[in-house]
Amino acid sequence: MIKKYLFYLLRWQLSTPILALCMYYLTFDVTTKTIVANLIGGLIFFWVDKYIFRTTIFNPLWEIEEQVECVDCGKIAKGYRLVKAKNYDKLNDKRPEFRCEECSKKKLSQLKNRGVQV
């Protein structure tokens, strides 16, 4: 979590030159310059923010479905499956396996024992 926070703070510092360049070169009033700078920053940093908050470098990616049959116990419940982690990738799994919360915790424990970094 600290890595993600530091990366996010660095990302904010990278937006400063955009604001400075717009303030220096544009000939509009200050409010309009600020709006233009924020629009430019939004066009650029939308993708950076998407990377920061979606990447599995910082967090594992989970998929959650409502009312699925647990692959282990057969219970109909909210289903969970780990899709991607640092050394685990089931993004292109043709037959995803969802588990109820209890079975998901057991499976997660097994994956950790096998060395998957979650």
Residues present in the chain in total:
118
pLDDT at 54: 67
* 91 belongs to a structural domain: yes
pLDDT at 61: 83
Q: How many domains does the chain have?
A: 2
pLDDT greater than 80 at residue 58: no
pLDDT at 1: 66
Phi, psi of 57 (to 5 degrees): -65, -35
Q: Which of 95, 94, 39, 96 is nearest to 62 (CA)?
A: 96
pLDDT at 91: 87
* 98 belongs to a structural domain: yes
Beta strands, E only, the chain: 61-69, 76-85, 88-89
Tens of pLDDT, residues 3-18: 778 888 888 888 889 8
Q: In which domain, by residue range, is 14 found?
A: 2-54
* 118 belongs to a structural domain: no
Strand partners, 64: 80
pLDDT at 59: 67
- Say yes or no: 38 and 82 in one domain: no
- Say yes or no: 105 and 86 in one domain: yes
Tens of pLDDT, residues 59-114: 678 899 999 999 999 999 999 999 988 888 898 999 999 999 999 999 999 998 98
Entry pTM:
0.52
